[in-house]
Chain A
Amino acid sequence: MESILELRSLFKHYSTHRAVDDVSLAIRRGEFFSLVGPSGCGKTTTLRLIAGFESPTSGEILLDGQPLAGLAPHQRDVCTVFQNYALFPHLTVEQNVAFGLERRGNIPKKRIREEVGDALALVRLLGKESRFPNQISGGERQRVALARSLVIRPKVLLLDEPLSALDAKLRKEMRQELKKLQRSVGIAFLFITHDQEEALSLSDRVAVMNKGKLEQIGAPQELYRCPQSRFVAEFLGEVNWLNGACLRPEAVHVSRELPATAAHSTIGIVESTTFLGNCLHLEARLPDGSYCVAELPQHHCDFAAGETVNLWWQAADEFRIPGSN
């Protein structure tokens, strides 16, 4: 598939610190692509390099096949949704959304009004046109920011932790909405987040970044099931390390009797159980002194601390990380 945005061995150095260290990736047309990593891993710097707020030390950025080097932010056909939205406080919702279209210079006023109306309808904000940003809720501000960027139809929409300023419940709702929105507009999204759950649930593909370097790129399931490094494995979820094999907690079954179908097993002593609402977190100590964590359906609530249990799993659920034992 043809790529809309391509980074070719991108470097960004700040005196002695390598913020972005040899990053190459290609985002496909219409793709929801996430760049995920802990804070300070260089993901926001990468985004700022693409938007043109910073210039790379070396490397190339191609947008739709055209190199972006030397173009100022206002000349680049990408648009950013900022972490705190950066809405213009002195302009109404409608004026905020119209800002980008007005900069195009040759669009008649009537057409701008129509397009702004369409964009506000898309993010379900009709009726709030004449409000100022401080008169609407956090979720609504988020949607104004999306409308303001989408209305100018950028080739790629860059989103810098756009959900991090929202509370947990709203964040989950906006996640669904964001995904639907991306499907309906068909613009490629480059989504920056430190939240692995957000990245896995939203994206077509995810790139995991650490200390300025790309660790792995792939579909969410592939990254989760076959991480190529210990960092990726541990960043995307909890991992049990059992004799060189790795296991996700939900792949570990616990029972008093060992079933005949169990491919691999070990015994363990229940250390603690934690009720998490939709599941039960069980921590067991293994004979070699290491710990194994299992995530069990909530009806398995009857294990007591100190009890000896069988822990077992299927061979297919195991994964191995290259270069580690």
Chain B
Amino acid sequence: MRLRHVFLAPAALVTIVLFFVPLLIALAYSFLTRGPYGGVFAPWTFDNYRRALDPLYLAILWRSVWLASISTLLCLILGFPLALYIARAKRHKILLLNLVMLPFWTSFLIRLYSWMFLLRDTGLINTLLEGLHAIRAPLPLLFNDGAVVLGLVYGFLPFMVLPLYATLEKLDPALLDAAFDLGATPWIALWRVVVPLSRSGIAAGCILVFIPCLGAYLTPDLMGGGKTVMLGNLIQSQFTAARDWPFGAAISLLLMLLVLAVSRLLGKQTENLL
């Protein structure tokens, strides 16, 4: 055995034992029948997949895709100018990048609770506005789709900024000079030169944001107050409250297929430029 194979072995072992084996178990479970208190029983069946196509669950799927898409788009709109600014900054690039990553120093759960503290009816924002007599009743800031999107955008923005920064930083400044020189306004130069040349970064950022958003569980659970159900929450409830492991496994696998399809689609964009 070659040395490089030896180096590969620990990671390969972890991946096989902790990822592929459980995945196969989940695959097997998804074709079995639920037990009364959880667990799985014979006979083998396609029922779980058939059930997943029920309009009730398709609505949840649609809702997840929609919220994840909106969040990804917002991350892109917010992240692109930020990444461009940092990439073109003459000084303090590292400091600015560290500021983008600063939230990671605290647990995501704690940060979400902080948001709830800010947004709830008796939270900081509503209390402040009421104190200023700007509003009579508290604004409904928490426990709705808007709050979920806010939480997702807040949580995943750095994953958009970093790949965008990496591509924009490599962009030759002479190309911008050339665009201006040939008569392009700064706005045209952005659309015709900067955006097309950062397509790979845009695609990478979108993959890194969209995929975790699609399977998000914590954010919709806390910020949506359980009203806003996304696929992650559905899966979680199947394995706990509903005690329907086979159905939970089936939805998990369908979510994975969806994620693979999306990353293939966006991944093509990155290949074209490399």
> Interface residues, chain A, CB within 8 Å of chain B?
51-53, 72-74, 78-80, 82-84, 86-90, 99-100, 103-104, 148-149, 152
Which of B174, B177, B182, B197 is the one whose CB lies under 8 Å from A152?
A: B182
How many whole Å from B170's CB to the nearest CB in chain A? 11
Residues of A contacting B196 with CB < 8 Å? 90
Whether B174 and A73, one on each chain, are in contact in the complex, defined by CB atoms closer than 8 angstroms, is no
Whether A86 and B193, one on each chain, are in contact in the complex, defined by CB atoms closer than 8 angstroms, is no
Whether B197 and A89, one on each chain, are in contact in the complex, defined by CB atoms closer than 8 angstroms, is yes
Which of A73, A87, A90 is the one whose CB lies under 8 Å from B181?
A: A73
**Complex-state Cα separation, A87 to B182, whole angstroms:** 11
Whether B174 and A74, one on each chain, are in contact in the complex, defined by CB atoms closer than 8 angstroms, is no
Q: Can you name 24 A-B pairs with beta carbons within 8 Å?
A: A73-B180, A74-B183, A74-B184, A80-B178, A80-B181, A82-B178, A83-B174, A84-B172, A86-B172, A86-B174, A86-B177, A87-B178, A88-B175, A88-B179, A88-B197, A90-B197, A90-B273, A99-B182, A100-B182, A103-B188, A148-B182, A149-B181, A152-B182, A152-B183
Residues of B contacting A83 with CB < 8 Å? 174
Which of B177, B188, B192, B273 is the one whose CB lies under 8 Å from A73?
A: B177
How many whole Å from A143's CB to the nearest CB in chain B? 15
Residues of A contacting B172 with CB < 8 Å? 84, 86
At the interface, is chain A mostly helix, strand, loop or mixed? loop
Interface centre among B172, B183, B185, B188 (most CB of A within 10 A): B183
Whether B177 and A88, one on each chain, are in contact in the complex, defined by CB atoms closer than 8 angstroms, is no
Which of B178, B185, B192, B273 is the one whose CB lies under 8 Å from A86?
A: B178
Residues of A contacting B180 with CB < 8 Å? 52-53, 72-74
Whether B175 and A86, one on each chain, are in contact in the complex, defined by CB atoms closer than 8 angstroms, is yes
Q: Which residue of chain A lies nearest to B188 when distances are taken between CB atoms in the complex?
A: A103
**Complex-state Cα separation, A80 to B179, whole angstroms:** 10
Residues of A contacting B197 with CB < 8 Å? 88-90
In residues 153-212 of chain B, which contact A (Cβ within 8 Å)? 172, 174-175, 177-185, 188, 192-193, 196-197
Which of A52, A78, A88 is the one whose CB lies under 8 Å from B178?
A: A88
Whether A103 and B174, one on each chain, are in contact in the complex, defined by CB atoms closer than 8 angstroms, is no
Residues of B contacting A78 with CB < 8 Å? 181
**Complex-state Cα separation, A247 to B193, whole angstroms:** 53
**Complex-state Cα separation, A89 to B192, whole angstroms:** 12
How many whole Å from A75's CB to the nearest CB in chain B? 8
How many whole Å from A265's CB to the nearest CB in chain B? 54
**Complex-state Cα separation, A99 to B273, whole angstroms:** 20
**Complex-state Cα separation, A88 to B181, whole angstroms:** 13
Q: Which residue of chain A lies nearest to B273 when distances are taken between CB atoms in the complex?
A: A90
Residues of A contacting B183 with CB < 8 Å? 74, 100, 103-104, 152
